[in-house]
Amino acid sequence: MIPLPRAAVAALLVITAACSPSSQEEPAASQALGEELYETRCAMCHGMTGAGDMPMAAGYPNANLIDQRWAHGPEKEALVRVIRDGLPGTPMLGFGRMMSPEEIDAVAEYVRGLSR
């Protein structure tokens, strides 16, 4: 057996870790969770596509999540903050007491994907 240089061994370990089933399943599980939570908690106002075309969102142009004109910023952190804390003076309730930080994070990531 021929010994491999340390750099080759390190590269193989990185590739193996990146290709392991657990690292590939995590984003898919988070995506599925985000979609499920969006459909059950958000779609009633924002619509299934995120267009903000439901009666509850009438008069609130910022309810449109697909036009990429987000008043509070497109960064994931901004979305997390809005989902967690809500927006006073609007029908957007905060979900910080109803959803875990991981659930809010999954919804924020799902919402970011709606505008792509």
Contact 84, 94 (CB under 8 A): yes
pLDDT per residue as tens digits for the range 73-90: 888 999 999 999 999 999
Q: How large a percentage of the chain has pLDDT more than 70? A: 78
Q: Using 50, 70 and 90 to split pLDDT, how confident is the model at 9?
A: very low
Cα–Cα distance measured from residue 99 to residue 83, given in angstroms and rounded to the nearest whole number = 10
Q: What is the mean pLDDT of the chain?
A: 84
Q: Using 50, 70 and 90 to split pLDDT, how confident is the model at 44?
A: very high
Main-chain phi, psi angles of 50, to 5 degrees: 90, 10
Gyration radius (Cα) of the chain, Å: 19
pLDDT per residue as tens digits for the range 19-35: 545 445 678 888 999 99
> What token pair was written down for 23?
């690292």
Q: Using 50, 70 and 90 to split pLDDT, how confident is the model at 110?
A: very high
What pLDDT, on the 0 to 100 scale, is given for residue 87? 94
Whether 45 shows a pLDDT value over 50: the answer reads: yes
Whether 40 shows a pLDDT value over 70: the answer reads: yes
Whether 1 shows a pLDDT value over 60: the answer reads: no
